[in-house]
Amino acid sequence: MADQAENAAAEALPKIDTSVPQSARIWNYWLGGKDNYEVDRVAGDAFREIFPGIETGARAARYFLARAVRHLAGEEGVRQFLDIGTGLPNVDNTHQIAQRVAPESRIVYVDNDPLVLAHARALLTSTPEGVTNYVDADLRDPATILREAARTLDFDKPVALMLMGILGHIEDHEEACAIVRELVAGLPSGSFLVQYDSTDTSKDYLEAIQQYNEGGSIPYILRSPEQIARYFDGLELLEPGVASCSRWRPDTEALGLPAEVHQYGGVARKN
């Protein structure tokens, strides 16, 4: 019976397309993960050949996530996290960092990638005191995300909204800004936005992205630091504001990283 149930669950999963590279799997490859396919590794190697700094940027972005979550859970007392576009499980995911600081933390992951869905069981781990849950939804549908997240999170208390490297997949910048506004509007005062995306500050990066976008994958748009800063309009930015991810409150994890990477982000409070 258990085998039949597992088979049925597997058959219910959306079909994973391995004919074209996919950004979450390529990012997983750059970070040293194993949840990727040959097509992703080929694309990742081709990207790195044009823009060798991509792996450094990937590490800087990952360390930024860790520092931001530690700060919010430790210094700001946040106990709820809504991580949209979470990607594939890796070392020190949001729930692991938050619950290490505060075991009672509640985390909801949101993604709609089939491989991420297949790994949902890996994400659905938690301390006994806390909760970790998963929502299958699209970033372009904030109303559904907020409604489903409310099954796990208490929207009368502060929530940290995590949008890590995901808004570049929204091709129209005004639409991306509108999505952020709608998500933030659904959160109570005292909540936070944590966000980063890759920037158009390198000619090699622009060339590598153009080649990637022509390969049939979901396009990713590099934006200026000023465009990324617009996601925080109306919010109170924490120091040092919107900055290169390696410059955001660096600690020992950031040692060995260049001061400037082409991933910019920040953390801001909703008053």
By the 8 A CB rule, do 247 and 194 touch? no
Give the model's confidence band at 7: pLDDT under 50 very low, under 70 low, under 90 confident, else very high: very low
- Domain borders along the chain are 23-270
What's the pLDDT at 23? 82
pLDDT, position 12: 43
pLDDT tens sequence across 82-141 = 999 877 767 788 999 999 999 999 999 999 877 777 776 676 788 999 999 999 999 999
> What share of the chain in percent tops pLDDT 70?
90
- Token pair 């991306």 is found at 176
Maximum alpha-carbon separation in the chain: 56
Q: What percent of the chain has pLDDT over 90?
A: 66
Residue given tokens 């700060």 in the structure block: 71
Contact present, 252 and 246 (Cβ < 8 Å): no
| pLDDT for 188 | 98
Where do the H-state alpha helices sit in the chain?
A: 2-12, 23-30, 38-50, 54-74, 94-101, 114-118, 120-123, 142-149, 173-185, 203-213, 225-229
23-270: CATH class: alpha beta
pLDDT tens digit sequence for 217-258: 789 999 999 999 999 999 999 999 999 999 999 886 666 788
φ/ψ (deg, to 5) at 32: 85, 15
Q: How many CB atoms lie within 10 A of CB 84?
A: 23
Please give the Cα distance from 156 to 239 (Å, whole number): 26
Residues 249 and 237: their CA atoms lie apart, in Å, by 13
| Tokens representing residue 149 in the block | 């997240």
